[in-house]
Every structure is written in structure tokens, then in C-alpha cells.
Amino acid sequence: MPRKASVALLLCATLLGGCVRVRVTPEYEAVNVVTVNGVGRVSVRPDTMLVDVGVEARVPALADATADASRRMTEVLARVKALGIPDQDITTVAYSVDPIVAPRRTDEEASRIVAYRVVNVVRLRIRDLAAGGPVVDGAVAAGANTISALQLTVNDPAHAESEARALAVGEAAAKAKEIAAAAGSRLGDLLSVTEGAGPRPIVAQAAAVMAARPSGPGPVEAGQLEIVVNVQARYRIVPR
């Protein structure tokens, strides 16, 4: 028998004998995979207040504007520190100097600076919620004329985030199991799990409570915050 013919017969015999390896493509594998989302939510009680207090000065001369803002902020900082806010809990978040230009009466008229606006804002981290009102009132009394971004949050949310993460993964697994059962299959191995943009604390906005009455301390109800974790999981599903 010619050599080429014998090689061909051997190849046929090998194929008929079942010694064929089939490579499963990713497209085929995807048919046997279910992708689900899970959300974990944990309620916690806030223990920290964040508030931005600032000074704004508008004066015709630039040197006078910066000096006025500096003097006011120095007095504000001295007052809040005297009320128990340490240096490490005070952070400058904004400082700007902007010229104020008079409206032009005609297109030909040159721009004319009539004053300068200087803004200096610091963020206070108040770790005792009961002190929030007196600290804000003290800052206003010392010369602060802008109060904004008041929030209630959690100083160390790590434990609540871990709990929310576990709940999110558990919800994803339960969903995948239900889907597999509805399809007449059973849940296989976990192939991958990814977290969304990271744990997201739902921060209570309390600006309306404090800014509405900056001249008088009032009670701030801490209530509950919610820490949310989102995950996406991929499971293999296998026939029963």
C-alpha cells in the first residue's frame, strides 16, 4: 500500500476511534454562564459632621480685600479651635481672588475693575454632633459669612462596608441560583465577581437645618445613614 494511503487510513481510524479533542470556544462557554448584580445596604448612625465655613470680602482695593478676608478667617479659626476643633480637623478647601468688573455701557467702552472679591473657605470635621450647632454659631459670630455643604457622615465606615459587601455577594448568589433553577439547571462555580465604584455612603445633607438659622443653635437629628455596595457576579450553570 502506498505510504500516503496508509497515513490517510490511520488518520481515519484515529478519528473513528473517538480520539478527537474538541476546543470549546468562549462563545459556547458564554451560553452556560449567568451574570447577576447584587446590592448590599447597611444602615448606620452618623457620628461626624462636616461643614464648610468661609469668609467673603468685597473691597475696591485688592490689598484691602485680601487683608479683610485674612483678618476674618484668623478670627474664625481662633473661635472654632477654642470650641474644641483641633488643627487636623480643619482643612482649607477653597481660596480665590476675583476682580469685579463694572458692566460696559457700550461695546467700545473698556472693562473697568471696581472691586475685588476674596473667598476663603475651610472644612471643619466635627466629631461630636452635639457640638455642631455651637461651633457653627461661633464661626458666624467670629466673622464667617458663608456656611455650606453641611453633612452628617461616618468617620470609620470600614465595618459597615464589609457587612454591605457580604450582603451584596449573597444577594447575587441567590439571584443566580433562582435563574439557574428557572432554566432547569443548577448553579455551578463562581467565575468572577467585581465591585462597582466602591462602597457608597449615603450622606445626610443637613445644610438646610443649619444655614437657615445661622444665628441660633438648634438640635441636629442624626437619624440613619445607608452604606451601599454593588457587585456583579458571573456563575457557570450546568444541566441537572
Asked if 84 and 146 sit in the same domain, the reply is: yes
What is the H or E stretch that residue 227 is in? Answer: strand 225-239
Higher pLDDT, 51 or 17: 51
Asked if 145 and 124 sit in the same domain, the reply is: yes
The residues that bridge with 36 in the sheet, in sequence order, are 233
The per-residue pLDDT of the chain, averaged, comes to 82
Asked if 165 and 135 sit in the same domain, the reply is: no
Say if 62 falls within a structural domain.
yes
**Angle formed at CA 225 by CA 220 and CA 230, multiple of 5 degrees:** 160
For residue 81, what are the domain limits?
Answer: 48-100+113-153
Asked if 137 and 218 sit in the same domain, the reply is: no
Yes or no: say if 210 and 150 are a contact pair by the CB < 8 Å rule: yes
Asked if 127 and 89 sit in the same domain, the reply is: yes
Predicted confidence band of residue 103 (pLDDT cuts 50, 70, 90) = confident
Asked if 187 and 172 sit in the same domain, the reply is: yes
Say if 130 falls within a structural domain.
yes
Query: Could you read off the pLDDT of 128-153 as tens digits, one per residue?
Result: 988 998 999 999 999 999 998 888 88
Query: Could you read off the pLDDT of 181-231 as tens digits, one per residue?
Result: 999 999 999 999 999 865 555 555 544 444 434 444 455 556 788 899 999
Distance from C-alpha of 240 to C-alpha of 230, rounded to nearest angstrom: 30
Higher pLDDT, 222 or 58: 58
* Count of domains for the chain: 2
Asked if 73 and 40 sit in the same domain, the reply is: no
Report strand pairing: 112-126 vs 146-153.
Answer: unpaired
Query: Could you read off the pLDDT of 64-83 as tens digits, one per residue?
Result: 999 999 999 999 999 999 99
Asked if 84 and 138 sit in the same domain, the reply is: yes
Q: What is the pLDDT of residue 203?
A: 53
Distance from C-alpha of 82 to C-alpha of 139, rounded to nearest angstrom: 11
Say if 13 falls within a structural domain.
no
